[in-house]
């Protein structure tokens, strides 16, 4: 390492002022975006790299490859409807899929805490293999590291994935126009609320499962049939639908108005959110996608997603307009409106 | 969902909205204070301002327990938490509130043992499960949460759990209402009375507002229809020239309050001679502390508490906003130095604080509206 001041080439200027990393920087909301935009991207990707998508386009010798990376640190490791292994594969697959790609291969890096029962590891490896087979993607390699007991929370998984972009697909915030419609594939908040309840701190029980799954069966027919009419896609994981739509609003300067009553929401999720003072729009999903669709293709898009396995509950939740500039507005059935902001910090239940 | 959907029914809300418009005299300007932070949050979350005529103005009151807590109390609590073996337990509401050297959440990131609990009983459970540690519960809230703290302390005594104490910041609702009405620059036409607090104290403690101050007060629920119906009831009184206490939230609030809850509070707590309120200054007999018989569970008696006093940043106008003299957006720091992510004043921290609610739900809407008018 070159000591500072001795021939060190001045690096790019960064504007990140937070003195230390907080949990909020990993929660997928406004702090995450600031960390990426003003520290990570300028230093690693060069200046001007803003509004990063879920995966990077990588044209190699004429082949339209797409590459993504993801990390998984969920606790508890298993929960209703899934486990960290399933989440890792589905999450990586979904990042590729909403970037318009068919997944080809995934690598898996395991960081294990000494003392982890072999049975736990074996169960997660089996879960990963099964999930990959179901999604039609190959696990082609990886790495394993073990850290001292107490230096990690049982196991972390880091993945990389590559896919091949479907022909005739052009996704990105620059494609989005006023008048476009916003499609959501199904009920929101299932994953986040399931995890919150699985931690067992709330003494609340609900008949609820994580929605972890591959969105490929829904997205592939949509993109193959309507290609250029699909303008933007995202899987609303950490930070929820609110953060994904706010990113779009910020990147385009456009306004997105959603109708609150049109949001597909299970009763258990709605009840938990009402009780804890959480906004379901901020809660993480692991098996849903958002698509911005040209208005003339809207009806067909909805028919296609609804006909696909797992897309039965899809619906349009809103529309892109010019107002309010660079913000997301929710409208209620009775005429009230409110701004939907990005998640600030971690979602903390309100008590008093 | 029962007890929710009925109160968000567009037809019923439309009728209430029309009735408010019919009752509001266009020659008058109505200034109505919602005392409770829960109401402030609901008003913004449901976008109710969009339904009200311009001359019915809602002023946001002091009923957000996080917002009125002076910064020094947080530093005091964190100072205790830094002593060896102590676990700091508090509601999620407290976690992002800044002390002079950072919030509980920031201290957690630096390695302090800070836990979020959902009830004081969870904090007691922590103490039971960690007999070699000391669990300090940082108690906040009005009469809404004070009874559950009292019951927890009674249970700790019954079970003989002594590695548990409460840093008591419980406050009472009537003194700050008095302080606001005594403030010379304040002119109000009526109150939306707090809902949750009233489930405990009932409606009688508000009688003086009607009889002595001549102002109507309607205890209100938290759903859109509750709040609009309460406004209808207030406007009817104002039109008729009466001033009474009415209970819109009768499905939850008994007129005489909750005797058992009041009994538990009286058993464990006594009034402090005075307590500092952020933005309002020292108010006599406005807060609770543990009685001598419960000294074993009183953090302030068991630990050396530094008694830190921190003045709010000069430029922040929390006091004026808290009293309803200024709107959040009229504060010099609003949306610039002070945002929900980097709050300078506590009103920006809690989602019940009027600044945070305004910033989250209204702020840019307003900007868009102004832009479209230009």
Rounded CA separation A113/A313 (Å)? 40
- The DSSP code for B128 is H
Q: How confident is the model at residue B366 (pLDDT cuts 50, 70, 90)?
A: low
B106 domain-assigned: no
Tens of pLDDT, residues B301-313: 999 998 888 887 7
Q: What's the residue count for chain A? A: 352
Put simply, the answer to whether A349 touches B92 (Cβ < 8 Å) is yes
Average pLDDT, chain B: 91
Put simply, the answer to whether B45 touches A338 (Cβ < 8 Å) is yes
pLDDT surpassing 70 at residue B72? yes
The H helix count followed by the E strand count for chain B is 15, 13
Q: What angle do CA A30, A35, A40 make, to 5 degrees?
A: 145
A180 vs A44: which has the higher pLDDT: A180
Rounded CA separation B141/B65 (Å)? 5
Average pLDDT, chain A: 91
Can you say how many angstroms the Cα of residue A349 is from the centroid of all Cα atoms in its chain? 22
Put simply, the answer to whether B109 touches A23 (Cβ < 8 Å) is yes
Tell whether B374 lies on the interface with A, counting CB pairs under 8 A.
no
ipTM for the complex? Answer: 0.83
- Per-residue confidence (pLDDT) for residue B54, from 0 to 100: 94
> Which member of A20, A344, A350 has the closest CB to residue B109?
A20
- Per-residue confidence (pLDDT) for residue B374, from 0 to 100: 37
- Per-residue confidence (pLDDT) for residue B354, from 0 to 100: 87
Tens of pLDDT, residues A50-65: 556 788 888 888 889 9
- The DSSP code for A38 is I
Torsion of CA A187, A193, A195, A197, to 10 degrees: -140
Tens of pLDDT, residues B195-208: 999 999 999 999 99
- Rounded mean pLDDT, B175-187: 87
Chain B residues with CB-CB distance to A256 below 8 A: none
Domain span including residue B334: 318-373
- The class (CATH top level) of A54-165 is alpha beta
Distance from CA of A342 to the nearest CA of B (A): 9
Residue of B nearest to A32 (CA): B341
- Starting at the edge strand found earlier in the chain, the sheet holding B164-170 runs B114-116, B86-90, B134-141, B164-170
Among A60-69, B17-26, B231-240, B360-369, which is the least confidently predicted range?
B360-369
Distance from CA of A296 to the nearest CA of B (A): 28
Q: Which of B132, B123, B133, B190 is CA-nearest to residue B156?
A: B123
- Per-residue confidence (pLDDT) for residue B362, from 0 to 100: 75
B150 domain-assigned: no
Rounded CA separation B277/A155 (Å)? 46
Q: How confident is the model at residue A349 (pLDDT cuts 50, 70, 90)?
A: low
- Rounded mean pLDDT, A87-93: 97
- Cβ neighbours around B183 below 10 Å, total: 15
Put simply, the answer to whether B351 touches A277 (Cβ < 8 Å) is yes
- Per-residue confidence (pLDDT) for residue A5, from 0 to 100: 46
Please report, for residues A276, B48, B65, B346, the alpha-carbon distance to residue A352 in angstroms, rounded to integers and kept in the order given: 10, 22, 8, 15
Put simply, the answer to whether B44 touches A338 (Cβ < 8 Å) is yes
B323 domain-assigned: yes
Distance from CA of B274 to the nearest CA of A (A): 22
Q: Which of A42, A70, A43 is CA-nearest to residue A56?
A: A70
Picking from B37, B94, B346, B361 by the largest number of A CB atoms within 10 A of its own CB, the best residue to mutate is: B361
Tens of pLDDT, residues B99-121: 888 889 889 989 999 999 989 99
Chain A residues with CB-CB distance to B340 below 8 A: 341, 344
B211 domain-assigned: no
Where are any strands of DSSP class E within B171-256?
A: 190-193, 217-219, 245-247
Is the backbone peptide bond immediately before A151 cis, with ω within 30 degrees of 0?
A: no
Picking from B7, B357, B364, B367 by the largest number of A CB atoms within 10 A of its own CB, the best residue to mutate is: B364
Rounded CA separation A220/A304 (Å)? 10
Q: Please answer whether residues A50 and A15 qualify as being in contact, where contact means their C-beta atoms are separated by less than 8 angstroms.
A: no
Tell whether B93 lies on the interface with A, counting CB pairs under 8 A.
yes
Tens of pLDDT, residues A136-194: 999 999 999 999 999 999 999 999 999 999 999 999 999 999 999 999 999 999 999 99
Domain boundaries, chain A: 54-165, 173-340
CB-based contacts of B141: which residues, under 8 Å, 6+ apart? A352, B65, B149, B170, B171
Put simply, the answer to whether A338 touches B96 (Cβ < 8 Å) is no
pLDDT surpassing 70 at residue B26? yes
pTM: 0.88
Rounded CA separation B121/B324 (Å)? 35
Can you say how many angstroms the Cα of residue B245 is from the centroid of all Cα atoms in its chain? 21
- Cβ neighbours around B238 below 10 Å, total: 20
Residue of B nearest to A349 (CA): B92
Tell whether B34 lies on the interface with A, counting CB pairs under 8 A.
no
The residues pairing with A181 across neighbouring beta strands, listed in sequence order, are A293, A319
- Rounded mean pLDDT, B333-337: 89
Picking from B90, B341, B357 by the largest number of A CB atoms within 10 A of its own CB, the best residue to mutate is: B341
The percent of residues in chain B predicted with pLDDT above 70, rounded, is: 97
Put simply, the answer to whether B47 touches A267 (Cβ < 8 Å) is no
Where are any strands of DSSP class E within chain B?
A: 30-36, 56-63, 86-90, 114-116, 134-141, 164-170, 190-193, 217-219, 245-247, 269-271, 274-277, 281-284, 288-290
Tell whether B22 lies on the interface with A, counting CB pairs under 8 A.
no
B343 vs A150: which has the higher pLDDT: A150
pLDDT surpassing 90 at residue B61? no
B123 domain-assigned: no
pLDDT surpassing 80 at residue B368? no
Tell whether B110 lies on the interface with A, counting CB pairs under 8 A.
yes
Q: Rg of chain A over CA atoms, in angstroms?
A: 20
Tell whether B122 lies on the interface with A, counting CB pairs under 8 A.
yes
pLDDT surpassing 60 at residue A195? yes
Put simply, the answer to whether B51 touches A274 (Cβ < 8 Å) is no
B327 domain-assigned: yes
Q: Which of A342, A351, A203 is CA-nearest to residue A276?
A: A351
pLDDT surpassing 80 at residue B351? no
Among A6-15, A49-58, B242-251, B321-330, which is the least confidently predicted range?
A6-15
Give the CA count within 13 Å in the CB-facing half-sphere of B186.
23
Chain A residues with CB-CB distance to B96 below 8 A: 345, 348
Rounded CA separation A60/A66 (Å)? 10
pLDDT surpassing 50 at residue B373? no
- Rounded mean pLDDT, B171-197: 92
Q: Rg of chain B over CA atoms, in angstroms?
A: 21
B324 domain-assigned: yes
- Rounded mean pLDDT, A243-260: 95
Q: Domain A173-340 is classified in which CATH homologous superfamily?
A: PurM-like C-terminal domain (3.90.650.10)
- Starting at the edge strand found earlier in the chain, the sheet holding A337-340 runs A230-234, A290-293, A181-184, A315-321, A255-259, A328-331, A337-340
Q: Which of B140, B157, B105 is CA-nearest to residue B277?
A: B140
User: Please, which residues 210-229 of chain B have a Cβ atom closer than 8 Å to chain A?
Assistant: 224
Q: Which of A175, A189, A168 is CA-nearest to residue A271?
A: A189
- Per-residue confidence (pLDDT) for residue A82, from 0 to 100: 95
Q: How confident is the model at residue B367 (pLDDT cuts 50, 70, 90)?
A: low
Tens of pLDDT, residues A282-329: 999 999 999 999 999 999 999 999 999 999 999 999 999 998 999 999
Rounded CA separation B262/B256 (Å)? 11
Please report, for residues A235, A241, A242, A244, A341, the alpha-carbon distance to residue A29 in angstroms, rounded to integers and kept in the order given: 14, 11, 9, 9, 9
Q: What angle do CA B85, B90, B94 make, to 5 degrees?
A: 125
Q: Please answer whether residues B138 and B92 qualify as being in contact, where contact means their C-beta atoms are separated by less than 8 angstroms.
A: no
B71 vs A89: which has the higher pLDDT: A89
- Rounded mean pLDDT, A198-217: 88
In degrees and rounded to multiples of 5, residue B279 shows phi and psi of 85, -25
User: Please, which residues 317-346 of chain B have a Cβ atom closer than 8 Å to chain A?
Assistant: 340-341
Beta strands A328-331 and A255-259, pairing class: parallel
- Per-residue confidence (pLDDT) for residue A48, from 0 to 100: 58
Q: Please answer whether residues A310 and A54 qualify as being in contact, where contact means their C-beta atoms are separated by less than 8 angstroms.
A: no
Q: Domain count of chain B?
A: 1
> Which member of B118, B144, B363 has the closest CB to residue A202?
B118
B257: left (phi over 0), alpha (psi -120 to 50) or beta: left
């Amino acid at each position: 390492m070159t000591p500072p001041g001795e021939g060190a080439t001045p690096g790019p200027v960064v504007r990140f002022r937070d003195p230390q990393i907080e949990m909020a920087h990993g929660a997928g909301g406004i702090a995450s975006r600031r960390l990426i935009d003003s520290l990570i991207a300028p230093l690693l990707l060069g200046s001007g790299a803003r509004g990063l998508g879920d995966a990077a386009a990588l044209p190699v010798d004429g082949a339209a490859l797409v590459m993504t990376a993801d990390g998984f640190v969920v606790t508890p490791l298993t929960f209703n409807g899934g486990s960290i292994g399933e989440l890792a594969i589905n999450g990586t697959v979904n990042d590729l899929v909403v970037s318009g790609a068919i997944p080809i291969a995934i690598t898996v890096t395991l960081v294990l805490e000494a003392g982890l029962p072999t049975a736990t590891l074996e169960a997660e490896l089996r879960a990963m293999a099964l999930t990959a087979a179901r999604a039609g993607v190959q696990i082609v390699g990886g790495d394993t590291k073990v850290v001292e007991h107490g230096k990690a929370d049982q196991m972390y998984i880091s993945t990389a994935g590559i896919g091949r972009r479907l022909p005739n697909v052009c996704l990105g915030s620059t494609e989005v126009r006023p008048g476009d419609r916003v499609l959501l594939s199904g009920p929101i908040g299932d994953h986040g609320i399931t995890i919150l309840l699985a931690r067992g701190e709330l003494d609340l029980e609900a008949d609820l499962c994580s929605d972890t799954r591959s969105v490929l069966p829904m997205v592939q027919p949509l993109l193959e049939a309507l290609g250029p009419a699909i303008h933007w896609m995202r899987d609303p994981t950490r930070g929820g639908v609110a953060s994904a739509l706010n990113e779009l609003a910020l990147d385009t300067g456009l306004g997105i108005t959603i109708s609150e009553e049109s949001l597909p929401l299970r009763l258990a999720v709605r009840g938990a959110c009402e009780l804890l003072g959480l906004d379901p729009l901020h809660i993480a999903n692991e098996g849903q996608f958002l698509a911005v669709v040209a208005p003339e293709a809207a009806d067909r898009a909805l028919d296609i997603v609804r006909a696909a396995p797992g897309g039965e509950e899809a619906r349009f939740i809103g529309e892109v307009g010019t107002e309010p500039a660079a913000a997301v507005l929710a409208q209620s059935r009775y005429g009230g409106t409110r701004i939907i902001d990005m998640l600030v910090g971690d979602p903390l239940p309100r008590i008093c | 969902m029962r007890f929710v959907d009925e109160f968000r029914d567009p037809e019923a809300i439309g009728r209430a909205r029309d009735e408010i418009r019919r009752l509001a005299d266009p020659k008058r300007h109505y200034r109505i204070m919602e005392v409770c932070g829960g109401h402030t949050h609901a008003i913004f979350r449901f976008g109710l301002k969009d339904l009200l005529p311009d001359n019915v103005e809602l002023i946001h009151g002091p009923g957000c327990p996080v917002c009125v807590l002076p910064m020094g109390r947080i530093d005091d609590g964190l100072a205790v938490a830094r002593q060896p073996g102590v676990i700091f337990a508090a509601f999620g509401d407290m976690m992002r509130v800044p002390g002079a050297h950072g919030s509980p959440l920031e201290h957690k990131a630096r390695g302090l043992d800070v836990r979020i609990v959902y009830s004081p009983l969870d904090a007691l459970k922590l103490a039971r499960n960690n007999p070699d540690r000391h669990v300090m519960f940082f108690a906040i809230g009005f009469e809404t949460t004070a009874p559950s703290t009292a019951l927890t302390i009674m249970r700790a005594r019954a079970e003989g759990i002594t590695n548990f104490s409460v840093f008591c910041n419980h406050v009472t609702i009537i003194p700050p209402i008095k302080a606001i009405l005594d403030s010379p620059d304040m002119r109000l036409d009526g109150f939306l009375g707090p809902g949750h607090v009233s489930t405990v104290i009932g409606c009688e403690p508000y009688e003086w507002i009607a009889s002595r101050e001549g102002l109507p007060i309607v205890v209100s629920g938290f759903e859109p229809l509750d709040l609009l119906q309460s406004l209808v009831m207030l406007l009817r009184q104002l039109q008729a020239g009466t001033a009474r206490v009415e209970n819109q939230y009768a499905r939850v609030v008994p007129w005489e309050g909750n005797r058992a809850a009041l009994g538990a509070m009286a058993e464990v707590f006594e009034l402090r001679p005075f307590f500092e309120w952020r933005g309002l200054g020292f108010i006599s007999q406005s807060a609770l502390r543990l009685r001598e018989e419960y000294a074993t569970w009183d953090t302030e008696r068991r630990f050396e508490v530094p008694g830190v006093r921190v003045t709010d940043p000069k430029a922040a106008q929390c006091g004026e906003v808290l009293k309803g003299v200024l709107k959040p957006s009229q504060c010099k720091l609003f949306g610039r130095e002070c945002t929900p992510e980097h709050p300078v004043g506590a009103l920006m921290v809690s989602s019940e604080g009027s600044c945070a609610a305004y910033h989250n739900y209204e702020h840019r809407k307003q900007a868009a509206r102004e832009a479209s008018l230009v």
